[in-house]
Chain A
Amino acid sequence: MAVNFVRPLIPKLATDPWAIQFDAAGHLKHLLTIEGLGSTWITRILDTAEGFMSVSDRDIKKVPLLRGRTVVNLFFEASTRTRTTFELAAKRLSADVLNINLSTSATTKGESLLDTLRNIEAMQADMFVVRHEQSGAAHFIARHAAPHVSVLNAGDGWHAHPTQALLDAFTIRRIKGEFAPLRIAIVGDVKHSRVARSQIHAFNSLNVGELRVIGPRTLIPNDIEPLGVRVYHDMRAGLKDVDIIIMLRLQRERMESGLLPSEQEFYRLYGLTEEKLKWAKPDAIVMHPGPANRGVEIESRVADGPQSVILQQVSNGIGVRMAVMALCMSAES
């Protein structure tokens, strides 16, 4: 059990950007960030997801909950994998799904982003699943969308990727049960990671024993400790006594912009190999939001090894996304 772990000291902003997630009755309407959900809503989403997991085990993997509703996957940033899981989740709830992929070059001006929004709204969409390269884009869309539309953030810039953090929490809960005794380490490019930010908020809301981030100074943002993490720059020290290791994806651009000298050096220092995995607890599990760069942040034998739960994360992702869609869509009446 970790001791003396500093709980987050997040200063209050003049305007809380997460308040917009709830409708007047206090029900979740949009999922834009983990912040502001608190353990009550997070637990509620995870519990709901448990119910939906059984749907995926049946011959007919579909329930009629969202029949007649239209879910629009609005992806301004290419991501087949994430889009597919949202699409599958929506289809298993019997919603109609429309995929719209837009390159951001066509919408660099804010006015055209709003124009796009209005055009799609005119198709009577009920929910937008939004991915955008700019932080705050999902908030922006939620603020300007028609009142009946729910917005799910499927990743905005470096800011948030709340369903990923929820499915990670779901996976951990299924395997480990309780959060309080756990030490979790997030390894790699935390600075540019919306996944890491959402995980930090989720795990702290769920009162994990200790949360660590591990990486070189170029990939760990300044002033991250107040969000409720301990910073380590050394893998051996950082992985000691850890129950959960979450490896982040390393983007190739990081080498070009001088944040790292080479993939090889990163792999040598921070790549999760079988040898480094031994530094953690013997029953530690290995997670990755995917898609993993084998040989860059993770060794294939670890990614495919007995401690890896990467594929469970993927299948859990569908249940969690079904839960979020069903909860947000039931708020509108």
Chain B
Amino acid sequence: MIQNPPNLGIDLDPVRHPEGCRPGIDCDTWLIRGARVIDPNNQLDTCTDVYIADGLIVGMGAAPAAFVLEQAQQVDAQGQWLIPGVIDTWARLREPGQEHKATIATETLAAVASGITTLCIPPDTDPVLDTVAVARFIKRRAQLAGRARVVAIGALTQGLKGELLAEMAELTEGGCVAISNAHYPVRDLRLLRRALEYAATFDILVVIQPEDPSLAKWGCAHEGIIATRLGLPGIPVSAETAPLAQLLAIIAETGARIHINNLSSRAAVRLIEQAKSEGLPVTASVSAHHLWLSEMDTDTLCGNTHVQPPLRSLRDRDALRSALADGTIDCVISDHQPHESDAKLAPFPATEPGISGLETLLPLVLKLVDDGLLTLERALDALTRRPADLFGLTNSGRIELGARADLALINPDTLWTLDETTLQSAGRDTPFFGWDFRHQTTATWVNGKQVFFRADGPVMSQ
């Protein structure tokens, strides 16, 4: 079995600097004072001081012996929350290949400004992420940007064409945290079964977004009353459940670790629930917007509610919410797809699907907590620890001694509105303009280095 190496976006040479931090270059020493430090998985919810050095959390409460307080930068974080940095396991940054939509530099800034410290990017880049060279390119671009950690999800098949297997072992050795065919189908079930068997050999996580291309053909909205009324070609729930059921049958035989990405329907949730109860190695994610929007939000005057999978009924949305709450759905993703404005300037069915989701990921999930639909513990678990464990980012997504200092400082009581001025992403395609949120990221650390700081945020001192 090959152990996934830690994949560190800010690490030039993982051999020389296994912890991904070059002292004096990438790292600073920090003392974050008095924040409410929350890490549910460590039963941690207390106001304390956190000491950071060499890219790691080196002390909590009292200063560790080697910590030189005079050299540390300090933040007075009273009244704020310090949480593990959010790990978004499915975000398109559009680089390489579609830099007219967004770049790694623009999107990693948007990420850290919203509490996200790690981004996993799917392999549908151009060129396709089916070689280590592409993975390295992405890593280098992220290092240059110097904001969030960016890790790659390699391709399952060469060119994502669903014909020949990609070199998945080499891809994972070269830094990919999982493999996937993104939203491209593998039509040949025999090939899919073999791909999963091969992945299982090396315990590689396979991310699959179930959508049957023939059932979803031409569709752009949930097949239901709204699509019927607006004359929009529909995508039935079976476009998700039929391939999911097939996949689960194959997993039962192959034993590969599968992460089902971006669930949209109640029926699919039931299938996952059943598979988990049978002990299948299946986990699942949902996008933050599917937790808040439904077909009722379909706005044909604007393509910003055209997403894939489609926004389904209110009943489906409620099922996704409770599945997240009870852990049937493991994590929440942004499914970030920044677009240039022209991509959405067309009649609804002709717009490109996807929304700019990075900056609403954490606020939307915490809004569920505010509404009493989710515990803070489960919310943070779904955004930090759980994805870290699933994607082999074993030293991230937690606040404990020796953990990587990927942290977000959140002001839990700022009323702010998402609008053109507050949105950082190059993709302006969000249906959440005008929404009010309460939780705002004020500062972010990646690898112990402060990568984002809100000007009206906490008080800094040297």
Contacts and interface: CB of A to CB of B under 8 A. Distances in A.
Interface of A: 10-15, 17, 20, 108-111, 113-114, 132, 134-137, 139-140, 143-144, 156-160, 194, 197, 221-224, 226-227
Contacts of B348: 134-136, 140
Given A114-B345, A157-B349, A13 B231 contact: no
Contacts of A13: 226, 296-299
Interface in B218-253: 223-234
B44 interface: no
A200 to B, nearest CB: 9
Nearest to A108: B350
A143 to B, nearest CB: 5
B388 to A, nearest CB: 35
Contact of B347 (A20, A137, A197, A224): A137
Contacts of B231: 135, 156-160, 194, 197
Interface of B: 223-234, 296-301, 342-351
A109 B228 contact: no
Given A136-B349, A143-B301, A227 B229 contact: yes
A46 B136 CA distance: 67
Given A14-B299, A20-B301, A110 B232 contact: no
A10 to B, nearest CB: 7
Contacts of B301: 15, 17, 20, 136, 139-140, 143
A122 to B, nearest CB: 18
Given A135-B232, A194-B231, A223 B347 contact: no
Contact of B229 (A113, A134, A197): A197
Contacts of B232: 135-136, 157-159
25 contacts: A11-B296, A13-B296, A13-B297, A13-B299, A14-B299, A15-B299, A15-B301, A17-B230, A17-B299, A20-B301, A109-B342, A111-B342, A111-B345, A113-B347, A135-B233, A135-B348, A136-B300, A137-B347, A157-B231, A157-B347, A158-B231, A158-B233, A194-B231, A223-B225, A227-B229
A97 B205 CA distance: 62
Contacts of A156: 231, 347
B184 to A, nearest CB: 21
Contacts of A109: 342, 346
Contacts, number: 104
A134 B226 contact: no
Given A108-B350, A110-B350, A11 B230 contact: no
A33 B180 CA distance: 43
A221 B298 CA distance: 18
Given A134-B346, A136-B347, A227-B229, 11 more contacts: A20-B301, A109-B346, A110-B351, A111-B345, A113-B346, A134-B347, A135-B230, A136-B230, A139-B301, A140-B300, A227-B225
A102 B58 CA distance: 67
A333 B258 CA distance: 62
B239 to A, nearest CB: 13
Nearest to A14: B297
A75 to B, nearest CB: 15
A10 B226 CA distance: 9
B347 A135 contact: yes
B224 A223 contact: yes
B349 A226 contact: no
Contacts of B351: 110
Nearest to B297: A14
A111 B344 CA distance: 9
A47 to B, nearest CB: 27
Nearest to A224: B228
B228 A227 contact: yes
Nearest to A19: B301
Contacts of A137: 347
A77 to B, nearest CB: 12
Contacts of B230: 17, 135-136, 159
Contact of B300 (A114, A135, A222): A135
Contacts of B344: 110
B307 to A, nearest CB: 15
Contacts of A113: 346-347
Candidate in A135, A144, A194, A222 with the most chain B CB atoms within 10 angstroms: A135
Contacts of B297: 13-15
Contacts of B346: 109-111, 113, 134, 140
Given A136-B300, A137-B347, A160-B231, A226 B342 contact: no
A15 B299 CA distance: 6
A11 B345 contact: no
A143 B345 CA distance: 11
A16 to B, nearest CB: 10
B216 to A, nearest CB: 14
A39 B361 CA distance: 44
Contact of A135 (B296, B343, B345, B349): B349
Contacts of A143: 301
B300 A17 contact: yes
A110 B299 contact: no
Given A157-B231, A158-B231, A134 B224 contact: no
B300 A139 contact: yes
A157 B229 CA distance: 12
Nearest to A196: B231
